[in-house]
Amino acid sequence: MPPAIETVDLVKEYGDLRALQELSLTVEEGEFFGLLGPNGAGKTTFINTLVGLVRKTGGDARVFGYDVEDDYQQARDAIGLAPQEFNVDRFFSIREVLKHKAGYHGVPESEAAERADEVLKRVGIYDKRDERFDWLSGGMKRRLLLARALVTEPDLLILDEPTAGVDVQLRHDLWELVTELNEEGTTILLTTHYIEEAERLCDRVAIMNEGRKVTVATPDELKGRGTDTIAVRLESAPARTPDLGAYAHETTVSGERLEVRVDDGGSTAPQLLNDLEAMGHEIADLEITRTSLEEIFVDLTRSEDRTVTRSSAESSDDGESPTDGREPEREQEGVA
């Protein structure tokens, strides 16, 4: 089977701005794949390219082997998209919204009604089926976007910031639901600003910055790139910073508190204690902390030359969906 998503040297330009820069990325069928990056990284431009809302400037992009432009309908029928922004027709009941969505993808009317009821039950808002979108709470609106993405029974589910602005309980409910979907065989692409969410859910994550792929790794592999800090509280402040062995990447002293940055705190702590005691220091307390995934993410995406132009372009990346000449009915797909 071809990969669920495969892009090779994918480029998207908006005038002088390159929102995607030779992005090559592969998501295997059945993966739960995370896409992380700061605002303006190009995450939503990447998604909009996959679903046909923008035309790529160069390179290749395929969904289950279908070219996203040459085989648009086949590629799009394989995708269920829960976007970050609310884009639902407010004049229909939410059940009708789902029926229209299914019909757009060729599902017969009778079957569309059954599917609508099924997904509304699955996301927990079946009792609201006859209400309009504007009458729903913020959390229910998020559930509806997920239901709309699922009503076509997609092989690839794309979740663009699905838990933005929701309470903790709903976030955990959605985590449980999308985990079940993945276990049932649905490939999931998740964009999120919650590092904990990616760490908990994803098999692998790609970190993007300024339209480029910075790295692809499992959450554990990313955490393995960090270091440990051993904080030692001494009985008395040392006269100078202790001269430790090569295992100490950095040593700082503040009063009685000594901090040593090492690769592996658990295996290094005994040697550090022995060295300090050999120097005549008395140990009062010791604590080991690991660099968090969030700190590693910040370090990987830190850029000293981010320009005002790049930052202002986020409105196009995460807000607008440029038509690029695509026919209007395809641009507005998903609103119904």
**Global pTM value:** 0.76
Nearest-angstrom CA–CA distance, 171 and 177: 10
Of 207-221, 266-280, 312-326, the least confident: 312-326
Q: Are strands 58-63 and 5-14 parallel, antiparallel or unpaired?
A: antiparallel
pLDDT at 165 over 90: no
Chain centroid to Cα 252, Å, comes to 35
Total Cβ atoms within 10 A of residue 51:
22
Of 12-21, 231-240, 303-312, the least confident: 303-312
167 versus 277: the higher-pLDDT residue is 277
Instruction: Give pLDDT, residue 192.
Output: 87
Written as six digits, the tokens of 202 are 């994803």
Instruction: Give pLDDT, residue 160.
Output: 92
pLDDT at 236 over 50: yes
Instruction: Give pLDDT, residue 179.
Output: 96
Nearest-angstrom CA–CA distance, 159 and 177: 12
Total Cβ atoms within 10 A of residue 54:
25
The pLDDT confidence band at residue 223, using thresholds 50, 70 and 90, is confident
Nearest-angstrom CA–CA distance, 188 and 27: 9
Written as six digits, the tokens of 135 are 């009458």
Instruction: Give pLDDT, residue 205.
Output: 94
91 versus 285: the higher-pLDDT residue is 285
pLDDT at 161 over 50: yes
C-alpha closest to that of 37 among 328, 319, 313, 300: 300
Phi-psi region of 256 (alpha: psi -120 to 50; beta: other; left: phi over 0): alpha
Of 140-144, 216-220, 312-316, the least confident: 312-316
Instruction: Give pLDDT, residue 114.
Output: 95
Q: Please give the CATH superfamily to which domain 227-290 belongs.
A: Alpha-L RNA-binding motif (3.30.70.1560)
| Alpha carbon distances (Å) from 78 to 65, 85, 188, 213, 242 | 11, 21, 12, 24, 61
Nearest-angstrom CA–CA distance, 22 and 61: 11
pLDDT at 325 over 60: no
How high is the mean pLDDT of the chain? 86
Residue spans of the domains in the chain: they are 5-78+154-222+298-331, 227-290
Total Cβ atoms within 10 A of residue 284:
12
Instruction: Give pLDDT, residue 291.
Output: 74
The pLDDT confidence band at residue 327, using thresholds 50, 70 and 90, is very low
pLDDT at 319 over 60: no
Query: Residues 130-160: pLDDT tens digits?
Result: 999 889 888 899 999 999 999 999 999 999 9
- Asked whether the beta carbons of 61 and 11 are under 8 A apart, the reply is no
Query: Residues 287-302: pLDDT tens digits?
Result: 998 777 777 778 777 7
* CATH (one of 2.40.50.140, 3.40.50.970, 3.40.50.300, 1.10.10.10) for 5-78+154-222+298-331: 3.40.50.300
Share of the chain above pLDDT 70, in %: 90
pLDDT at 84 over 70: yes
The pLDDT confidence band at residue 224, using thresholds 50, 70 and 90, is confident
pLDDT at 222 over 70: yes
Query: Residues 173-188: pLDDT tens digits?
Result: 999 999 999 999 999 9
What residues have CB less than 8 Å from 288, skipping those under 6 apart? 228, 229, 230, 231, 265, 266, 269
